[in-house]
Amino acid sequence: MASMDGSEPLPPPRPGLDDDAIERLLARLLQAGVLLSTLLVLAGGIVFLLHHGRATPQYSHFTGEPVELSNVAGIIRSALRGDGRGLIQLGLLVLVATPVLRVAGSLAAFLVLKDRTYVVLTSVVLLLLASSLMAVVF
């Protein structure tokens, strides 16, 4: 099979795995992450308002988030209990994790396609994302 200008033959297409299929898969991942995040934040907001919607805010006294909501394990435990704040924070964590998962998915796709240049570049991006997230956590 020759290229459009007749200079070099094009490689045969891979069955079921091409750039368009990978892009569609990664786009679905982003859509699912944003949808899940939206649903979690919405559910958390509804639960929070049902429990605290009539409470009068005390603006003269600052009350921070509970210590439980300052780490990932605590957020997950709180969300599993159905706590509104925990659900909201879990939704925000999912929103932050979604693009990181997309980069990880891209890396996996480039590994399968054996595209060394993009494997290296995507690995660097993933390492930068992971190190910046770890710097915040620790």
Q: Would you list the DSSP string of 43-99?
A: HHHHHHHHHHTTPPP-TTS-----GGGGSHHHHHHHHHTT-HHHHHHHHHHHHHHHH
pTM: 0.77
* Block residue for tokens 């704040």: 85
pLDDT digits (tens, 9 = 90+) for 82-127: 999 999 999 999 999 999 999 999 999 999 888 899 999 999 999 9
Distance CA 35, CA 91 (A): 10
Q: What type of residue is 135?
A: A
pLDDT value of residue 3: 53
- Residue environment code for 49-58, b if the CB has 16+ CB neighbours within 10 A, otherwise e: eeeeeeeeee
pLDDT band of residue 46 (cuts 50, 70, 90) is very high
pLDDT over threshold 80, residue 18? no
